Amino acid sequence: MTIALKLDFDQLKRLVSQCNTRQKIELLQELEKETFRTRFKGMLKNLKTVDLTLEEITAEVEAVRQKRYEG
C-alpha cells in the first residue's frame, strides 16, 4: 500500500524535528547520497587551479627552506 502526502517545507521540517537522533542521522545519510553529485560539482566549480611551473615550485620550496634555516 502506498500513501502520498502533500507537505510544504515547513511541515516537513516540523515532521523531521519529531524524529529521534538515529532517524535524523539516517535521513541525513540518505540526503547526502542523493545530493552528492550536485555538491561535488559545486565543489569542483569553486576550486581554482593555478598552473605552476617546476621553476616556480622550486623557488617557493627554496624560499621556505631559507626562512626555516634563518629562523
Does a structural domain hold residue 3?
no
Does a structural domain hold residue 61?
yes
pLDDT in tens, 61-71: 999 999 888 87
Does a structural domain hold residue 21?
yes
User: Strand, helix or coil at 19?
Assistant: coil
Does a structural domain hold residue 51?
yes
pLDDT in tens, 1-55: 899 999 999 999 999 999 999 999 999 999 999 999 999 988 888 777 778 889 9
Please give the Cα distance from 33 to 28 (Å, whole number).
9
**Structural domains counted in the chain:** 1
Please give the Cα distance from 71 to 69 (Å, whole number).
6
Q: Residue 30's domain spans which residues?
A: 9-70
